[in-house]
Amino acid sequence: MTFPNDACCQVLLVGFEAQENLGLRSLAAFLQNEGIEVGIQPMQGVTRETILARALTEKPKLIGFSLIFQRMLDDYAELIAYLRANGVGGHFTMGGHFPTFEFEAVLKAMPGLDSVVRHEGEHTLLELFLKLDRPQIWGEIPGLASRTEQGISVAPLRHLIADLDSLPFPIRDTCSTTHRGIGIRSLAGSRGCYYDCSFCSISEFYRRTPGPARRTRSPRNVVQEMLSLYDQFGTQIFIFQDDDLFMRTPRHRDWLEEFVREIGASTLANRILWRVSCRVDDLDADCLRKMKEAGLVSVYLGIESASDAELAAMHKGYKAKDVYHAIDLIREVDLPFEFGFMLFTPDSVLETVRENLEFLKFVSANCDTLVNFCKMSPYAGTPIQRRLREQGRLEGSLACPDYRFLEPKLDLLQAFSAQTFNYRNFADDGLVERLRFAKFDVCLLKRLLPSGQDIQAYESVIGELIKRCNESSLDTMTFALAFLQQNDLETVMQYWHILEEARQQELATEQEITVLLHRVLTEYGFFAGREASGHVRLQSGLEPVTQFANPA
């Protein structure tokens, strides 16, 4: 039997890899740099029997589990119990945002787990490996929470790594995602975030341990990694996973301008495309134009809401007028963009939903961006989770925390939204992601693969499908909102079949658009030469959530 990284390993790292798990692969590179044999085992696309066979064959001294998504807690618990029940020895540890904040609950839920690596993991995991044979001193390893006969030993937190340039580049899979024969990879130029959005665990993850809240690699170091990926794998499309690429202050703009100069001075000039994420109040038109000339092809904006009250509750630090200004600015630069949006938050009422739907109609009027929306999830360690717990509103399970709204009708509206749009908004092959990639394909043809095809006509057709998709979803949500506003709860439940009919019509429209899109993509050669070892999502940070209300 053969396995990925089929050399016998001392450390096996197991994690979800819809695209390359950069955190896991950074750990692997760091350990390998210290002379330790490391293997990487994806969670998805394989059976637990496959993972068991590899563990029994290679007999790693340490197995590290990377838990990215809180909702996968039960999956990891079942896998760990299965491995232990079938004779896998060695030390089991786990890392990630959720285990960092809820290490006691995680160790309780997973008896087969020996420890949790909290916060940044490179040096803690290395020290743990070197001291595996001395469990009596695990409690002294900074950043580690470990199981002992007396209970759980929690060591002091470890300082964050100050110089990210000192780290080796993440280990990469030899098989990369490609589109039209062009390699696509993700990468990160920084760690952490300066801000404290109430729903986000990232700032809490880095702020609770000693060290700067955000650290940035040097522009040259980032470009060197891009060059390495270009030379080794033919990568020409780079999806930056940084939570926010700044351009607000002179220092941040200096970094970006130096980054642009490094690209221009390298063999990457005019050969690559890249995508970044940023806040609406960070945008600078002059900086965006320079980045666009250097290959920037898309920006993902964390808009989240167009309600001043909700933005304040989210601790976003800007107002709705700033959101409208950012949209105008990015359109002035003529740069494609997408955005994240939370139509439902713990502070939502029917009126804020109406306000947000009006904004979504405005922002989608030009057919240059795709509308999607979600319910805010109260992730572990976040201010919103703490507030909901203090208010007695935190419900659900450890893996899938949830809450009810202050207006009961809103629970019904959100349930209708989830039943109707979760697949459309979140699935890799859902309509939003399909249209987003089609839109990206147009950009790629314009910038890297000019051909005899009528790209303008292609772009126009995709735009019309985006327009229809946006209008249909917003009309459906507006209809559902009005139905709930105009009727009492008893009437709503009695005539729920009216909303069910609206849902079925929306799903039929979605299917029709999907069929038309497939025909267009086939006509323009979208599927020719497209191979993928993992799906690279152009959408960021959105997950479906557990629903309480299910009137259907």
Q: State how far the Cα of 481 lies from the Cα of 504, in Å rounded to an integer.
A: 16
- CA-based nearest residue to 482, from 550, 413, 415, 424: 413
- pLDDT (0 to 100) of residue 117: 98
- Is residue 536 predicted with pLDDT exceeding 70? no
Query: pLDDT tens, 226-283?
Result: 999 999 999 999 999 998 887 778 888 999 999 999 999 999 999 999 999 999 999 9
Residue predicted with more confidence, 550 or 102? 102
Query: pLDDT tens, 344-402?
Result: 999 999 999 999 999 999 999 888 999 999 999 999 999 999 999 999 999 999 999 99
Backbone angles phi, psi at 340, to 5 degrees: -100, 145
- CA-based nearest residue to 81, from 72, 92, 70: 92
Q: State how far the Cα of 12 lies from the Cα of 37, in Å rounded to an integer.
A: 9
Q: How many residues does the chain have?
A: 552
pLDDT over 70 percentage in the chain: 94
Structure tokens at 493: 């439940």
Query: pLDDT tens, 129-146?
Result: 999 999 999 999 999 999
pLDDT over 90 percentage in the chain: 82
Q: State how far the Cα of 68 lies from the Cα of 204, in Å rounded to an integer.
A: 15
Instruction: Give 182's Cβ-side CA count (13 Å radius).
Output: 17
Domain range list for the chain: 11-154, 172-523
Mean pLDDT of 5-33: 88
Q: Are 203 and 211 in contact (CB under 8 A)?
A: no
Query: pLDDT tens, 191-233?
Result: 998 898 999 998 889 988 999 888 999 999 999 999 999 999 9
- Is residue 324 predicted with pLDDT exceeding 90? yes
- Is residue 153 predicted with pLDDT exceeding 80? yes
- CA-based nearest residue to 248, from 295, 292, 195: 195
Do 11-154 and 172-523 have matching folds?
Answer: no
Q: State how far the Cα of 128 lies from the Cα of 106, in Å rounded to an integer.
A: 19
Structure tokens at 438: 């089609």
Question: Does residue 391 sit in helix, strand or coil?
Answer: coil
β-partners of residue 183 are 178, 235
**DSSP code for 139:** G
Mean pLDDT of 498-502: 98
- pLDDT (0 to 100) of residue 267: 95
- pLDDT (0 to 100) of residue 2: 33
Pairing of strands 401-403, 394-396: antiparallel
Angle at 421 between CA 415 and CA 422, to 5 degrees: 80
Q: State how far the Cα of 542 lies from the Cα of 199, in Å rounded to an integer.
A: 12
Pairing of strands 182-187, 337-344: unpaired
Structure tokens at 535: 């799906």
Backbone angles phi, psi at 192, to 5 degrees: 95, -175
Helix (H) or strand (E) holding 341: strand 337-344
Q: Are 316 and 304 in contact (CB under 8 A)?
A: yes
Per the listing, tokens 């803690």 go with: 124
Q: Are 202 and 241 in contact (CB under 8 A)?
A: no
Query: pLDDT tens, 412-458?
Result: 999 999 999 999 999 989 999 999 999 999 999 998 887 777 899 99
Determine the distance from the C-alpha atom of residue 362 to the mean position of all C-alpha atoms in its chain, rounded to a whole number: 26
Average pLDDT score, the chain: 92
- pLDDT (0 to 100) of residue 203: 84
- pLDDT (0 to 100) of residue 547: 31
Q: State how far the Cα of 384 lies from the Cα of 183, in Å rounded to an integer.
A: 39
Band (537; pLDDT cuts 50, 70, 90): low
Band (549; pLDDT cuts 50, 70, 90): very low
Helix (H) or strand (E) holding 2: none
DSSP state letters, 400-428? SEEE--SSHHHHHHHHHHHHHHHHHHHST
- Is residue 534 predicted with pLDDT exceeding 60? no
Helix (H) or strand (E) holding 344: strand 337-344
11-154: which CATH topology?
A: Rossmann fold (3.40.50)
Question: Does residue 338 sit in helix, strand or coil?
Answer: strand
CATH code for the part of the protein at 172-523: 3.80.30.20
- pLDDT (0 to 100) of residue 530: 54
Dihedral in degrees, nearest 10, Cα atoms 160, 165, 171, 175: 130
Query: pLDDT tens, 93-125?
Result: 999 999 999 999 999 999 999 999 999 999 999
- pLDDT (0 to 100) of residue 5: 44
